[in-house]
Amino acid sequence: MLGVRLRCTSNFKNQENEGKVLSTRVVIVRHGESNFNILSKIQGRGNYDRPELQSVLTDKGKQQAKLAGKALSNLNVDVAYASPLVRAQNTAKLILVENFNPPELRTTDGLLEIDLSEWESMIAGDVKEQFPEKYHLWQNEPEKFQLGDRYPILDLFAQAKALWNEILVKHQDQTILLVGHSGINRALICSAIGIPVSLYHNIQQVNCAISVLNFQGASITDGVQLESLNLASHLADISGSPLPPVKKNHNGPRLLLVRHGETEWNRQKRFQGQIDVPLNNNGHAQARRASEFLAKVKIDKAFSSPMLRPKDTALEILSKHPNIKLELFDELKEISHGLWEGKFEHEIEAEFPGELALWQAQPETVQMPEGENLQQVWDRVAIIWQKIVESVPAGETALVVAHDAVNKAILCLLFDFTPEQFWVFKQGNGGVSVIDYPQGAQGSPILQSGNITTHLSEGVLDRTAAGAL
């Protein structure tokens, strides 16, 4: 599988995203902590026309914004937009101060937070007590949530799609910074990659976290990749952890999903599949950095594919957690590429004309010769993932180390995605994703953070090898 190798320059049209040409990068940041956040008040877009009455950044929020700016300081941002609300504008200004060549900041109503005007300035607990049915819908069936004659979350998704339609046409081949709010940021990400409104709460945005999206063309229908989601490692000096915090009332397990480190075949872009290729020197170094990254994170159980590259990655991580036994599952093995295994792209094209292009454009249609198709991967991964989740007691954290296609399938299954959406989630060598089950193993999963690779290189971009599976 071809990977993405992104530079810090603005134009990366000819960079390849696993077989697909990219044209536009969008970096999304949530504002820093506000006084309303501390008080657990509903913010929304309250007092939109009266900045003096809006919620404002705390000192901690300003510090978070500066740290986000430092994390993005080497990125060549071509254009920057912020919500007109004070907390987002000030966050954006503090971010751009750290940039070596900052663009002029623009504001757009397209980044306004969700309209909860009937509840704004109320304590969230009071809203839950006074409006239990509406609060339940807001949290559990967002597509049905109604205030007055409005459907706020449906309206927010429409707002997000309108913003995509505007900026993707206007800023093709550029790097765009968007500084918004928890609700609108989630709506932007969901609407871009196809997460339905009903699962709006299944991704998160902590204060000053960073997400990166890569677009093929001038529309969300042209193809999009979520490179990373809700990166918070740059805030560790404040938060005490490189990972997003476990939310209050969390009554289930947390899973840390890791892709193995680099192999020489990854670097050579040779398809490996179920051939047991070991880590190369860089792969071992990536595993060590992943181990250091997760050293202070509580790990209670660990699982891996039995193949050398994930197993050795897992064992390196567990060197910082020496009392944890590693359990191996064959169902976590990489996709079998069959007769493609051991071959380079040009060899595959020569032997199986047109199949590689089909794999890159319509992966769900490809049956690997004497190997698997993606539905078979989906089926085996769904069973073993649920088995693993159910084996982790509430309040505990499990490490799961596997492969690119397997990890992609797991992430897709969180949102009921089919093999057609296989390319949506990027998984870099040594990258870490965080998945919570706050209501237990049978409840709805939350992707807290996706494809964290900040421990592997400077900056927030995934710079791991653009290699084959």
Catalytic residues: 31, 113
**Crossing angle of helices 308-318/281-293, nearest 10°?**
40
From residue 300, how far is each of 170, 243, 284, 370 by CA, in Å?
A: 48, 16, 23, 38
Query: Reduced to 3 states, what is the DSSP secondary structure of residue 30?
Result: strand
Quote the CA–CA distance of 374 and 277 in Å, as a whole number.
21
> If we measure between CA atoms, which residue out of 237, 236, 177 comes closest to residue 211?
177
Measured in degrees and rounded to the nearest 5, phi and psi for residue 111 equal: -105, 10
Question: Which residue type sits at 124?
Answer: A
Residue 227, C-beta contacts closer than 8 angstroms, at least 6 positions apart: 4, 6, 212, 213, 214, 426, 451, 461, 462
Quote the CA–CA distance of 380 and 85 in Å, as a whole number.
47
Give 21's Cβ-side CA count (13 Å radius). Answer: 8
Chain CA centroid to CA 275, Å = 28
> If we measure between CA atoms, which residue out of 111, 105, 109 comes closest to residue 78?
105
**Crossing angle of helices 152-170/182-193, nearest 10°?**
70
Q: Are strands 446-452 and 175-180 parallel, antiparallel or unpaired?
A: unpaired
Taking a C-beta distance cutoff of 8 angstroms, is the pair 450, 228 a contact? yes
> If we measure between CA atoms, which residue out of 42, 44, 197, 212 comes closest to residue 127?
42
Residue 169's CB is within 10 A of a number of other CB atoms, namely 12
